[in-house]
Amino acid sequence: MGSILVFGGSGQLGQCLQHVAQQRSITDIVFLPEEQANILNPEVLRATFEQHRPAYIINCAAYTAVDKAEDEVDIARKVNRDGVENLARLCGEFNTTLLHVSTDFVFAGTGNQPLTETDAAEPISVYGLTKLEGEQVIPRNTERYFILRTSWLYSEYANNFVKTMLRFGKEREEMRVIWDQLGTPTYAIDLAGALLHIIQTGSTEYGIYHYSNEGVTSWYDFAVAIFELGGLPTRTVPIRTAEYPTKATRPSFSVMDKTKAKTTLGLAIPHWRESLKVCMARLAE
């Protein structure tokens, strides 16, 4: 299998990778401290590669503040494009396989059919654009890469929609939640498992893949499920996107087709409700 280096290991997905690696007794995996993991510093990165000579890199480092990115275009681009290019270039040089996490925000989301890897990427936000630019620099620098696009990430770690709804549900009698944006929640533990599955199976089927949990829902129905499973009496009111204006435009339909990931990589993907139950049970422990 070879050694694995994780960049962005302190974030939500990084913490999930730590959990799953421990569960699977994967010991040859290093979660780099921040000073060694600055993807914007080519000299530090090179020293890190020379020290560890990794077989695999998992890049969880990203600028993910979707609305702030509209005002902070330069820093979003530096992290989401330039930092990724720095990693990809070294992966090409050191014969390291890169596993990179991208997003459903690379799509405009104006259709009504599940999105495949070959559908046109037409981002409608700075965040989506810079993530797409990050995808595009990878094949220019290395042939050995897996790009996993995901959506609506949550877990028992860090800040996310599930934990926010549980907090608000205890504080408020009523929550107004958007119902006209459709997608699929993804339990970050499942995504971490998928990334490690690729490494553990030694796949060389390089390219772009879609990975989210199965099923389709709205943010409103997601919130209703969270309150139900959490035993909270919160009244949930559906609202349109127009009633909750944000600086960045979101895709209105970003359900992704996972056929390629299931058939080519052999991934078994649980339904979002089943994974939500697992997460809620862990949060209740």
SS3 label, residue 50: helix
Give the chain's length.
285
Contact 124, 249 (CB under 8 A): yes
**Phi then psi dihedrals of residue 97, to 5 deg:** -85, 130
Scored b (16 or more CB within 10 A) or e, 261-285 reads: bbeebebebbebbebbeebbeeeee
∠ CA 83-89-93, nearest 5°, is 145
Q: What is the rounded CA–CA span in Å between residue 228 and residue 171?
A: 16
Please name the residue that has the structure tokens 């970050």: 188
Q: What is the rounded CA–CA span in Å between residue 62 and residue 84?
A: 9
Q: What is the rounded CA–CA span in Å between residue 56 and residue 145?
A: 9
Instruction: Give the active site residues.
Output: 127
